[in-house]
Amino acid sequence: MWSHEVPSAPNIAIVGVTGAVGQEFLRVIDQRNLPFDNLKLLASARSAGKQVEYQGKTYTVEELTEDSFGDVDIALFSAGGSISKKLGPVAAEAGAVVIDNSSAFRMDPNVPLVVPEVNPEAVQGIEVGNGGSGSSGGGIIANPNCSTIIMLVPVTPLHKAARVKRMVVSTYQAASGAGQAAMDELELQSKEVLEGKAPTCNIFPFQYAFNLFSHNSDIGDDGYNTEETKMVKESHKIWNDTSVGITTTCVRVPVMRAHAESINLEFEHPLDEEEAKRILSEAPGVSIIDDRGGKRFPTPLDASHQDDIYVGRIRNDQSRKQVAGHGIDLFVCGDQLRKGAALNAVQIAELLLAGVPAV
């Protein structure tokens, strides 16, 4: 039983198409054969008029304005929080379903925060197919922070099996998380440092090449930066459970693409490493690389340009011998631009087009 009728080929808009995530949207839509009747490419006035060759057609990038959404069914936003706050509600009012990649609406209690493998039921009641109708259709769905997505895809099936009481996470975040400019600067700095030159530091105040530093987001009075706080608050919202203890440390590392995370889990019920491997081997969106003999475990290069989250170093937490079987350690890698951003949003669109089973 389906909750509503949905169009098989909607009109889709990509907001911020010239950015790193916007370009990834195009690749993911093509690779997954997401159907669309019309594709509208939107960006700032600076990029308007550019020609884009895509799927055998030439598209012209249009300037993003408040009038851009009258004929749009699904709007994939990745143009920054200020643009989302200003134009997301405008697009939704015009009848589009906005799937937003910024942090603008993530903690809004009226906006679902969705990872399709984790909480697909959160999109109940949001309908696709009212573009241009001026009706009450449309709505806003938020894409979580990339680090939150990469963490929760593998952790959630373990949580469902044994319930996580406490989670300690350290992230190793690639340049891709800070956009194309950071990726370009890392490449430039690497060349400069190897040539004995002073590195160009326009994006970060520190040398990035051959170095690492605490995540560059703002730090609050509690000592946590906003990236760390996002992971905690978003996980609580997605799981609909604020009782799970979560602490995070986020670090920027000189990797071009794909984030890594070290995750320690304390469970309410017994769960050993063999059962964890079995659960993860059956989990959607997860691939295991865990060869102890060959010392072969996930790397950012394994995850780059891939859809799945790669999981390894699956082992019992030896610090919890007094409560045997209640702790597991993991090391995971996921592509920030794909599953951490564009792919997750496109999967939400697929979820809506497939029809959400009625509760």
Lowest mean pLDDT among 125-129, 166-170, 275-279: 125-129
Please confirm, yes or no, whether 305 is among the known catalytic residues: no
Alpha-carbon distance of 93 to 226, in angstroms, equals 30
For residue 250, report the phi and psi dihedrals to the nearest 5 degrees: -110, 130
Catalytic site residue from 159, 215, 250, 259: 259
From 237, 227, 236, select the one nearest 261 (Cα to Cα).
Answer: 227
Give the pLDDT band (50/70/90) at residue 132: very low
Domains of the chain: 11-144+341-354 (3.40.50.720), 147-336 (3.30.360.10)
- Reported as a single tens digit per residue, the pLDDT across 75-104 is 999 999 999 999 999 999 999 999 999 999
Element housing 168 (H / E): strand 164-173
If one compares 5 and 58, the residue with the highest pLDDT of the two is 58
- Reported as a single tens digit per residue, the pLDDT across 32-75 is 999 999 999 999 999 999 999 999 999 999 999 999 999 999 99
Please confirm, yes or no, whether 201 is among the known catalytic residues: no
Above pLDDT 70, what percent of the chain? 93
Alpha-carbon distance of 100 to 119, in angstroms, equals 16
Token readout for 34 is 């997401």
Question: What pTM was computed for the model?
Answer: 0.92
Instruction: List alpha helices for 32-114, DSSP H.
Output: 81-93
Give me the pLDDT at residue 164, please: 97
Q: In what order do the strands lie in the sheet with 259-267?
A: 213-214, 245-252, 164-173, 259-267, 327-334, 309-316, 286-288
- The answer to whether residue 357 scores a pLDDT higher than 50 is no
